[in-house]
Chains A and B, each alone.
Chain A
């Protein structure tokens, strides 16, 4: 096996092997478990860095194994996959740090971190899948590996949330499988390729391809929480905060959104999808989701539920960007895949901090939280402003590109959708900030678990990750034109995707 074949497998192994080892560790071996977790995360980052350097230099990484005659488990690490891999690998490191702090002294940690690592492995598999079969294998593995995390607390409420999650994702998986097998039957393979593979079939199959597209979109739309398939996401917020971070930023909804990207760009091909009239309906569903999610968020008093509906809305920005036919929209959608992850993980880390430190679970309990926990609240504020799309944040960059993409594609209505959503985002985030910063501190917090010591308002492992991701939110916004920014990488992807168009970057 050559180096270029081994590297993708090593990326998978860097979380799989620590995960499997952690399962076997006794509860009390904290030191070894932490070492395994962190060394896995760091090794993975190093490997991903190698991949980035290689792909930029034009190397191709891939490997495949025959599972059945004519059916391959195959991996490739291309520019698009690396976007997702890098996001997950970086955020995994911070989430691991956060989880170590969050779960300190809690029971069942070996199980938790074992499944946690499996989740990340599945995400890497999804990102590196080189055909729909492989994608599906890891997509379902992700479902299975997240279930024990969602029900981790073992209470009736968490089990109910977990069962709702399963009901949605397993049915979605069955629909997705139908579409994939059908496509495999028609084409004889489902390998991803630039500009798509479905176009090879000829116009006699247009009708079937439209139905297959619908099946595939329902399948991945469940995880991407597209309305009306989003019901599981607000329910799943009963999970511990690091799991929410995983669901909302690192893995699950991202896997759905990434699936949409792969299917539109590399199974159908954006130009062929446009000629089959597939993009506009998807854009409408995305638009409805964007507005509906923001609207529902307005009425949630539970902080994590409000954030969950916000995710419903924000993930569809990605989908909308994908459906805006044209490279600028593509850039806007793909870059939001990264930006949304960074911003949303900040918000969930902070929500976890409020709950763990002061017992705050509701928006109405947030009064004065900014004075008691200034650092957490600064991070939360940056994340929230980013979500609204305030300049100098990551969110502003995505929104600018999306709006330009919409006008370039001649879909001006989408611009209205984006502005409406921004307005709603402001309407549900600003009151939280107002309460946190300008309302007086209450006499007693709901349940103060961690007492402030000097500037350390809470445990430092809880504090550090949101501060870093908040800084990243600003950095990706301010330095978006830097050579190593997500935006530059996304431009590289878009250039490779639109082979028939010359691209002039306007914004």
Chain B
């Protein structure tokens, strides 16, 4: 099952490349549906019988490659496939038939997903590096696929960031390998103790910083807004919703895995990600409030929302922190995919890229605006939504460990999100200026965004199963 989650996207990506986009689309959508089913089956299996391991080709580590799925990785796999399938349907309706971007879009998405799925299942620092590169290059390709000068520039900037990030990570891996002679995360947990040499600290620092750069955590976020704001809507959605979460997932994995003894020794270290997260929440929201282009607003909102994920690090002493983090990842993933998809539809229909140009869309495109609003509810953390549950968990954890400042950041961040979300909605509810035209858009575009947004809200009514899954180790 696990192997197929990696092989399947590789398979349909290659076929889509060879057969061309018109047939590739359907292969991709069928493949993604199968992946979604696999992810659900895997999650169900893990909840039933605990974490699962698969030795690829029958060779166990250290010779072969072990794939391990515990609750955390199964949850991330599930999130990825849940978002990818509707977005693929959306993309199919979004791109015009003769759009040159589609030639590369489907194969790149396939490689991207293969990289993601492999990343979530790997237990080997070096394999993780390989998946990171695959992921990064596919993502850069997708940003550039639009072909415009601005998009190429954004892609190059993104390429630079992602290469520096993985370079730092690889350097760290090399140092770890030099010290302990292994790159297996399972073995390293017992090897790296509180008395680890300075070299290991440096290695850890390099790896974490490299991954933070790839996650676009403040102040490493410089590459994200142009890349996510400039790419075609389905690409923006996929990158913002899933790809940045992958490197966050790795930071978390390393933090609670191999480097767990280090973070215990240096208790102040846990505040470093939280501090950057706090700054991200404020800076990202501030920029989103000021942004004039709709997609830039949403991209900066991603910068802010990623900040919340890093607020859990000082709280990891209680088991609930992991659950809060995953809930936030789901909330933001689903909502942000919906929001970018909705924004793409709005821009396509009105021909306006500016927030100021949205007057009247509440009347003309109600379904899309509803989707935007529902996604906004999740981002603001208002009930009922997954974002609200994440916020509730975060605040309660912060109170129980007496970290008042975190509760404060979460609450204020929610209000700031309300400012930028309602900036858009306010404009949308205005009466349309005379003479403005709205081009009809395919219903698929409207309803896929709506479905994703509705999922982000409905998860807020039933989070028990997801939390149960995350709890499996």
Contacts and interface: CB of A to CB of B under 8 A. Distances in A.
Interface of A: 23, 65-69, 71, 73, 107-108, 111, 136-137, 140-141, 143-144, 147-148, 151, 154-156, 159, 162-163, 166, 170-171, 173-174, 177-178, 181-182, 184-185
B395 interface: yes
Contacts of B400: 185
Given A66-B464, A108-B363, A170-B415, A137 B392 contact: no
A107 B467 CA distance: 45
Interface of A is mostly: helix
B415 A171 contact: yes
Nearest to A180: B392
Given A68-B464, A177-B411, A178-B395, A154 B383 contact: no
B18 interface: no
A166 B418 contact: yes
| Residue with the highest number of chain A CB atoms closer than 10 Å, among B366, B383, B392 | B383
25 contacts: A67-B463, A68-B389, A68-B392, A69-B464, A69-B467, A71-B392, A73-B461, A137-B383, A140-B383, A141-B383, A141-B384, A148-B362, A148-B429, A151-B426, A154-B430, A159-B426, A159-B430, A162-B429, A166-B418, A173-B382, A177-B395, A177-B411, A178-B411, A181-B395, A185-B399
A174 B460 CA distance: 17
6 shortest interchain CB distances as A-B pairs? A137-B383, A154-B431, A185-B399, A181-B395, A151-B429, A174-B411
A431 to B, nearest CB: 36
B426 A162 contact: yes
Interface string B454-473: 00000011111001100000
Nearest to B430: A154
Interface string B364-388: 0010001000000100101110001
A108 B399 CA distance: 45
A166 B422 contact: yes
B407 interface: yes
B133 interface: no
Interface string B224-242: 0000000000000000000
A247 B389 CA distance: 28
Contacts of B418: 166, 170
Contact of A68 (B370, B422, B431, B463): B463
Nearest to A182: B399
B393 interface: yes
B366 to A, nearest CB: 7
A67 B395 contact: no
B414 interface: yes
Given A23-B370, A67-B389, 13 more contacts: A67-B461, A67-B464, A71-B392, A137-B383, A137-B384, A147-B425, A148-B429, A159-B429, A170-B380, A177-B391, A177-B395, A177-B411, A185-B396
A76 to B, nearest CB: 18
Contacts of A144: 377, 382
Interface of B: 362-363, 366, 370, 377, 380, 382-384, 388-389, 391-393, 395-396, 399-400, 407, 411-412, 414-415, 418, 422, 425-426, 429-431, 460-464, 467-468
Contact of B422 (A67, A163, A171, A177): A163
B399 A181 contact: yes
A66 B460 CA distance: 11
Given A154-B431, A174-B414, A181-B399, A68 B467 contact: yes
| Residue with the highest number of chain A CB atoms closer than 10 Å, among B362, B377, B429 | B429
B426 A163 contact: yes
Contact of B396 (A140, A155, A181): A181
Contacts of A141: 383-384
A154 B399 contact: no
B382 A140 contact: yes
A190 B426 CA distance: 35
A243 to B, nearest CB: 14
Contacts of B363: 107-108, 154
Given A108-B363, A144-B382, A178-B407, A67 B430 contact: no
A67 B407 CA distance: 21
A137 B389 CA distance: 11
B386 to A, nearest CB: 11
Nearest to A160: B426
B7 to A, nearest CB: 35
Contacts of A140: 382-383
Nearest to B414: A174
A177 B395 CA distance: 9
| Residue with the highest number of chain B CB atoms closer than 10 Å, among A23, A140, A141 | A140
A148 B422 CA distance: 11
Contacts of B392: 68, 71, 177, 181
A385 B20 CA distance: 78
A151 B426 CA distance: 9
Nearest to A111: B366
| Residue with the highest number of chain B CB atoms closer than 10 Å, among A65, A68, A156 | A68
A69 B470 CA distance: 12
B184 to A, nearest CB: 32
Contacts of A71: 392
Contacts of B414: 174
A66 B391 CA distance: 17
A136 B348 CA distance: 37
A207 to B, nearest CB: 15
A184 B366 CA distance: 38
A154 B429 contact: yes
A321 B203 CA distance: 66
Nearest to B382: A140
A144 B468 CA distance: 30
A358 B407 CA distance: 53
Contacts of A173: 382
B469 to A, nearest CB: 12
A171 B380 CA distance: 12
A155 B411 CA distance: 31
Contact of A156 (B362, B389, B391, B430): B430
B396 A184 contact: yes
Contacts of A148: 362, 429
A144 B457 CA distance: 13
A181 B407 CA distance: 10
B281 to A, nearest CB: 14
Nearest to A138: B383
Nearest to B432: A154
Contacts of A170: 380, 382, 415, 418
Contact of B393 (A23, A68, A163): A68
B455 to A, nearest CB: 16
A66 B370 CA distance: 27
Contacts of A159: 426, 429-430
Contacts of B461: 65, 67, 73
Contacts of A66: 464
A154 B428 CA distance: 9
Contacts of A181: 392, 395-396, 399, 407
A107 B426 CA distance: 18
Nearest to B427: A159
A169 to B, nearest CB: 10
A148 B429 CA distance: 8
A143 B411 CA distance: 17
A256 to B, nearest CB: 17
A65 B425 CA distance: 32
Contacts of A177: 391-392, 395, 411
Contact of B431 (A155, A174, A178): A155
Contacts of B460: 67
A170 B380 CA distance: 10
Contacts of A73: 461
Nearest to B429: A151
A163 B384 CA distance: 21
Contacts of A185: 396, 399-400
Contacts of A65: 461-462
A108 B425 CA distance: 16
Nearest to B391: A177
A148 B363 CA distance: 12
